């Protein structure tokens, strides 16, 4: 039963997603997620080709990532830059494997992202934009970026306040190595679908407002929102990128509070 047609998200599945251990496992899970993406699109009259599935491999060992690659994954999402950089170094033989860094980045680590990532989804300060741009110019590279927006209002979440995004975007054309593609958010981590949906609606509405005044060279076509527990809701509200980890790779050993400090506890009772 899909959480999105019901009033609950699938966030309470945490720790219960089975581990993928063979190429066939990955192939099956990828197909299953793609099917659910297609169904969510159908419910709201969208074309599934508008939605990109970004598999998130954080905390998983290199061997798992290689299985995912063998099953067809060509871009992997990681939320910690050092872990991503190590994996990139170890997997240089896979020349068409690309890396998307989706987690908060400290300015002093911009150098690492500039070296290997093709996409960065958590841009949230001009200091960071400047550091990334400077390092990218040195490397002779460019980077697709998403501006992270805090749509849940939780102090523990990274990202710009919605009211600050317009002014932030105006400054981004100064950084010519950054190709701004759109907005990214992490919704409230809740089992209540309606509260989660409000975060996605907020991001889409903000995008529509900002589109009127966006500077030349900046695109807001992409909306990166939705993860294993809520990607179908995100698609119903306009996501063009969904970042799905556990539903493909299997549960992570640590609770989500380890990755996102301060998460609310879930209320669903089994
Ligand atoms: C880990 C992570 C995801 C994926 O979460 P899952 O529950 O594994 O699907 C999505 N976005 C960000 C920013 C993440 O760090």
- CA 136, chain centre distance (Å): 21
CB 202 within 8 A of CB 19: no
pLDDT in tens, 58-68: 999 999 999 99
Residue 71 has pLDDT above 80, yes or no: yes
pLDDT band at 11 (very low <50, low <70, confident <90, very high): confident
Q: Which among 102, 150, 241, 254 is the best mutation to test ligand 1's pocket, defined by most ligand atoms within 8 Å of the CB?
A: 102
Query: Residues of the chain with pLDDT > 90: what percent?
Result: 84
What pLDDT score was predicted for residue 1? 41
Tokens 């879930």 identify what position? 266
CB 22 within 8 A of CB 250: no
Ordered DSSP codes for 42-88? HHTT--GGG-EEEEB-TT--HHHHHHHHHTT--EEEESSHHHHHHHH
User: Kind and range of the H or E element at 161?
Assistant: none
Distance (Å, whole) CA 120 – CA 144? 6
Residue 5 has pLDDT above 80, yes or no: no
User: Kind and range of the H or E element at 264?
Assistant: none
Q: Which atom of ligand 1 is nearest to the CA of 122?
A: 13
In the chain, domain spans? 11-259
The answer for residues whose C-beta is within 8 angstroms of residue 48's C-beta and 6 or more apart is 34, 37, 38, 41, 42
Q: Mean pLDDT of all residues in the chain?
A: 92
Segment 48-72 shows an average pLDDT of 98
Distance (Å, whole) CA 153 – CA 75? 30
Query: Residues of the chain with pLDDT > 70: what percent?
Result: 91
CA of 212 to the centre of ligand 1 (A): 30
pLDDT in tens, 129-171: 999 999 999 999 999 999 999 999 998 889 999 999 999 999 9
pLDDT in tens, 184-205: 999 998 899 999 999 999 999 9
CATH hierarchy code of domain 11-259 = 3.20.20.10
User: Kind and range of the H or E element at 117?
Assistant: none
Ranking 4-13, 48-57, 158-167 by mean pLDDT, the lowest is 4-13
Residue 260 has pLDDT above 80, yes or no: no
Residue 177 has pLDDT above 50, yes or no: yes
Residue 268 has pLDDT above 60, yes or no: no
pLDDT in tens, 218-243: 999 999 999 999 999 999 999 999 99
Q: Which atom of ligand 1 is nearest to the CA of 244?
A: 9
Q: Which residues line ligand 1 (CB under 6 A)?
A: 56, 58, 79, 102-103, 186, 227-229, 243-247, 259
Distance (Å, whole) CA 161 – CA 171? 16
Q: Which atom of ligand 1 is nearest to the CA of 102?
A: 13
């Amino acid at each position: 039963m899909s959480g999105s047609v019901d009033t609950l998200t699938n966030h309470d599945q945490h720790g219960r997603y089975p581990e993928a251990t063979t190429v066939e496992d990955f192939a099956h899970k990828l197909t299953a997620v793609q099917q659910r993406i297609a169904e969510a699109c159908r419910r709201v009259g969208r074309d599934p080709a508008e939605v990109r599935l970004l598999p998130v491999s954080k905390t998983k060992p290199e061997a798992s990532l290689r299985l995912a690659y063998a099953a067809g994954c060509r871009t992997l999402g990681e939320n910690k830059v050092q872990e991503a950089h190590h994996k990139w170094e170890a997997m240089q033989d896979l020349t068409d494997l690309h890396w998307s860094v989706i987690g908060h980045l400290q300015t002093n680590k911009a150098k690492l992202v500039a070296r290997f990532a093709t996409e960065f989804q958590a841009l949230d300060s001009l200091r960071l934009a400047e550091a990334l741009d400077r390092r990218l110019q040195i490397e002779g590279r460019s980077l697709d970026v998403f501006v992270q927006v805090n749509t849940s209002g939780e102090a523990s979440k990274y990202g710009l306040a919605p009211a600050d995004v317009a002014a932030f975007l105006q400054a981004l054309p100064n950084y010519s190595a950054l190709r701004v593609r759109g907005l990214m958010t992490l919704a409230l981590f809740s089992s209540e679908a309606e509260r989660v949906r409000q975060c996605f609606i907020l991001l889409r509405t903000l995008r529509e407002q900002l589109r009127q005044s966006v500077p030349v060279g900046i695109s807001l076509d992409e909306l990166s929102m939705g993860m294993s527990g809520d990607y179908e809701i995100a698609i119903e509200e306009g996501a063009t990128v969904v970042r799905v980890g556990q539903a493909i790779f299997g549960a992570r050993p640590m609770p989500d509070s380890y990755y996102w400090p301060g998460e609310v506890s879930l209320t669903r009772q089994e």
